[in-house]
């Protein structure tokens, strides 16, 4: 236990300088975004970001999503976060990894469009003023559940945010995310249901953890909410938004704790072992 905790601390320290060049590089994140958008297209028809306004909920440390949406033609992007986690320095570093992103985006934009839209982000050091000039606003601290947002958006997007909220907050959070959507607007939420401590080989370890699952454990490892509960929460909002589960991945290979905590509600083994959900919604006019 102690060794694991120590190892995790060292990894987290190392991730600062390494992540922008690896797991959080612009190349890596644009590949994931392209995959998400391709899956969303199957529900919405080919998504066109030209001239659109985008709201990203839960910026985190990086600006890969807002910059990608601008590269895909969005007119403006507002990215909000409850906490000021953004690192402009690391965001800048992640942009240096840009050999492959043009290929991932080539289905949606031409090479010339890519160059014309991406180059300005590389031309000068990133600053909030510079970003604003380029059509990206960052608001933090901004709590979607508490703060008022008067603007309306064509697309509302979140990536690995919902699983960090405690279950009791999820419905309110989703309702709040519908408010800034234009009628006919699109919502895209990617949810990671794995234990964030050791997702590779122990993705279900937290389901057997006997501690009271606090907000800080939700933030660190995920809320343990299973696919069927997300399904129920989304379906509670079906009069305001037509939701589709556009993707669900299930892992049957890794071991899971033999005893699952009673508070982890689930309907069957597949439900327990669901590791990713992508929900796409179209706001009803
Ligand atoms: C795991 S991070 C994901 C960050 C980013 N999307 C990424 O993938 O790199 C989740 C983010 O959601 C933010 N968040 C949580 N609750 C929020 C709320 N009520 N309003 C706005 N942001 C929130 C957190 O502060 C955190 O930065």
For 120-134, write each residue's pLDDT tens digit: 999 999 999 999 999
Average pLDDT, the chain: 95
Q: State the pLDDT at residue 15.
A: 56
Hey, which residues does 24 pair with through a beta bridge?
none
Residue 169, Cβ density class (10 Å: 0-12 exposed, 13-18 middle, ≥19 buried) = middle
Q: What is the CATH number of domain 2-283?
A: 3.40.50.150
Buried-exposed string 59-71: b where 16+ CB fall within 10 A, e elsewhere: bbbbbbbbbbbbb
Atom of ligand 1 nearest to the CA of 173: 19
pLDDT digits (tens, 9 = 90+) for 144-189: 999 999 999 999 999 999 999 999 999 999 999 999 999 999 999 9
Are 27 and 97 in contact by the 8 Å Cβ rule? The answer is yes
Q: If you write DSSP's letter for every residue of 174-205 in order, what string do you get?
A: HHHHHTTEEEEEEEEEEEE-S-SSSTTT-TTG
Q: State the pLDDT at residue 236.
A: 96
Atom of ligand 1 nearest to the CA of 158: 6
Q: Which of 66, 90, 161, 199 to mutate to test the pocket of ligand 1 (most atoms within 8 A of CB)?
A: 161
- The Å distance, Cα 110 to ligand 1 centre, comes to 31
- The Å distance, Cα 144 to ligand 1 centre, comes to 10
- The Å distance, Cα 151 to ligand 1 centre, comes to 20
Q: State the pLDDT at residue 192.
A: 98
d(CA 279, CA 243): 7
- The Å distance, Cα 181 to ligand 1 centre, comes to 18
- The Å distance, Cα 111 to ligand 1 centre, comes to 32
Question: Closest residue (by CA) to atom 4 of ligand 1?
Answer: 60
Are 80 and 139 in contact by the 8 Å Cβ rule? The answer is yes
Q: In the structure, which protein residues have their CB atom closer than 6 angstroms to any atom of ligand 1?
A: 57-58, 60, 62, 80-83, 85, 143-145, 159-161, 164-165
Question: Closest residue (by CA) to atom 7 of ligand 1?
Answer: 60
Neighbours of 164 (CB within 10 A): 19
Atom of ligand 1 nearest to the CA of 169: 19
- The Å distance, Cα 160 to ligand 1 centre, comes to 8
Q: Which of 12, 81, 179 to mutate to test the pocket of ligand 1 (most atoms within 8 A of CB)?
A: 81
pLDDT less than 50: residues of the chain = none
pTM: 0.94
**How many Å is the maximal CA-CA distance in the chain?**
55
Q: State the pLDDT at residue 80.
A: 98
- The Å distance, Cα 259 to ligand 1 centre, comes to 30
């Amino acid at each position: 236990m102690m060794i694991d905790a120590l190892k995790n601390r060292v990894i987290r320290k190392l991730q600062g300088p390494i992540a922008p060049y690896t797991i959080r590089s612009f190349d890596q994140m644009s590949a994931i975004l392209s995959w998400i958008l391709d899956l969303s297209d199957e529900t919405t028809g080919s998504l066109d970001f030209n001239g659109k306004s985008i709201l990203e909920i839960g910026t985190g440390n990086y600006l890969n999503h807002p910059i990608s949406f601008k590269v895909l033609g969005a007119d403006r992007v507002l990215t909000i976060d409850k906490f000021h986690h953004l690192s402009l320095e690391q965001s800048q570093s992640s942009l240096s990894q840009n050999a492959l992103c043009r290929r991932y985006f080539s289905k949606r934009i031409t090479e010339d469009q890519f160059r014309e839209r991406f180059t300005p982000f590389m031309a000068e050091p990133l600053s909030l003023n510079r970003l604003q000039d380029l059509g990206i606003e960052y608001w933090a601290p901004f709590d979607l559940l508490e703060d008022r947002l008067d603007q309306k958006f064509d697309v509302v997007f979140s990536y690995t945010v919902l699983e960090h909220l405690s279950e009791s907050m999820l419905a309110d959070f989703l309702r709040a995310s519908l408010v800034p959507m234009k009628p006919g607007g699109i919502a895209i939420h990617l949810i990671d249901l794995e234990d964030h401590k050791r997702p590779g080989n122990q993705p279900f370890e937290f389901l057997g953890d006997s501690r009271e699952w606090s907000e800080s454990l939700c933030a660190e490892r995920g809320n343990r909410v299973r696919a069927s509960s997300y399904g129920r929460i989304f379906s509670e909002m079906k009069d305001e938004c037509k939701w589709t589960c556009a993707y669900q991945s299930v892992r049957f290979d890794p071991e899971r704790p033999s005893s699952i905590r009673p508070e982890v509600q689930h309907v069957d083994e597949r439900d327990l072992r669901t590791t990713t959900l992508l929900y796409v919604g179209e706001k009803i006019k």
